[in-house]
Amino acid sequence: MEHLDNAKVLVTGGTGSLGHAVVRRLLSGEMGWPSQITVFSRDETKQHYMRLEFARRPTATDDIVFDEHQERPRLRFVIGDVRNYESLAQSIPGQDVIIHAAAMKQVPTCEYFPGEAVATNVIGTQNLARAVQHYGATVQVVVGISTDKACKPVNVLGMTKAIMERVLVQANLGGTATRFVSVRYGNVLASRGSVVPLLQSQISQGGPVTITTKDMTRFLLNLDQAVDVVFQAIRSARHGELYVPQVPSARIIDIAHAMIGGRSIPVIYTGIRPGEKTHEILISDEECLRTGVRDGYYVIHPMLPELNQNGTDPSVPLARAYSSQDVSLSENDLARMLRPVTLKEPRLDILA
């Protein structure tokens, strides 16, 4: 699917950081001009402000039609919850592409409320797959948004996202024409709840800057790179495949030092939070044997033999797990990478 001209696109969790970025990029026309984009989420306040932002109007409307640029797609907002099968199923008919970004994604929150994380990340995904199978005759591709925490998970977020990946793999069985695929990536710079906005806020207040451990590392990419992975999966991912970007990693303490610069701001270590890893993994040792490269991305082929037509790739690109422990960014590299983010004032509003 090379372009989205005249397609109808549904974005679950469309008011989140990634969903917001996806909508912005879809409205740019780089993937063609969809006929309609539907933002599906449960937060009416976020929808209200997102509606106003994209309409550039002082008052809200139910739908947005870009009067000055009629070639742009119609942007719709629908209140609903992926936990509620009926509300989700009503938005499926007529859609061509679904980007499934609805999730609980905060590690500590998921640890304290594991049942809620299961309800959203697992049951919500199962509801989506079932609704598409029953009402999505026109749906060509569903892209699920996963995380590095799903690889050898030690926390509830990772466990639920790992099951989400498998639910989407299984949804391809039974001869469906719809491609159910996933993307998996690491820490998105400036996304809501990520480390950079937290550090930026702490620095702006003069500190202290809180770091969990000196050795902790994370993969880093910006929101546009995250959207790039999603768009590439729409274009070329096959049934059950999982796309992983080739991205750098860094120590969190180095990120903090790069953001602090020469300022006299204290750093304190607080210890690992519930459910956290010191290092993240994007591709495990076991997955390496099912991993190839396509269009500059790692592609993990599905485990189920009915879907894995490629079998074991003879030209395995990775000899061992793809881990953030293999730090590739220096403080100078980080300073350059973070400059576009740190030049902005830390935003605490819902569209940060």
Q: Please indicate, yes or no, if residue 2 is contained in any of the structural domains.
A: no
Residue 352 lies in a domain: no
Nearest CA-CA partner of 280 in 317, 247, 233, 303: 247
pLDDT band at 174 (very low <50, low <70, confident <90, very high): confident
Examine the pLDDT at 343 and tell me if it is beyond 90: no
Cα dist from 306 to 124, 143, 173, 188, 244, whole Å? 25, 20, 8, 33, 22
Q: What is residue 148's DSSP assignment? A: G
- pLDDT class of 256 with cuts at 50, 70, 90: very high
Residue 324 lies in a domain: yes
* Closest-CA residue to 100 (of 234, 211, 6): 234
The total of structural domains in the chain comes to 1
Q: 157 lies in a domain?
A: yes
Tell me which of 289 and 65 has the higher pLDDT: 289
| pLDDT at 59 (0 to 100) | 60
pLDDT of 129 over the 80 cut: yes
Instruction: Please state, for a pLDDT cut of 70, what percent of the chain lies above it.
Output: 89
Residue 262 located in a structural domain: yes
Q: Is residue 13 part of a domain?
A: yes
Identify whether 54 is part of a domain: yes
Q: Would you call 149 a catalytic residue per the annotation? A: yes
Nearest 5°: CA angle at 221, between 312 and 190? 145
Tell me the CATH number at 215. Answer: 3.40.50.720
Provide the residue range defining the domain that includes 149.
8-342
Q: State the pLDDT at residue 94.
A: 97
Cα separation of 139 and 91, whole Å? 12
Asked whether residue 235 is domain-assigned, the answer is yes
- Find the catalytic residue in 149, 152, 161, 344: 149
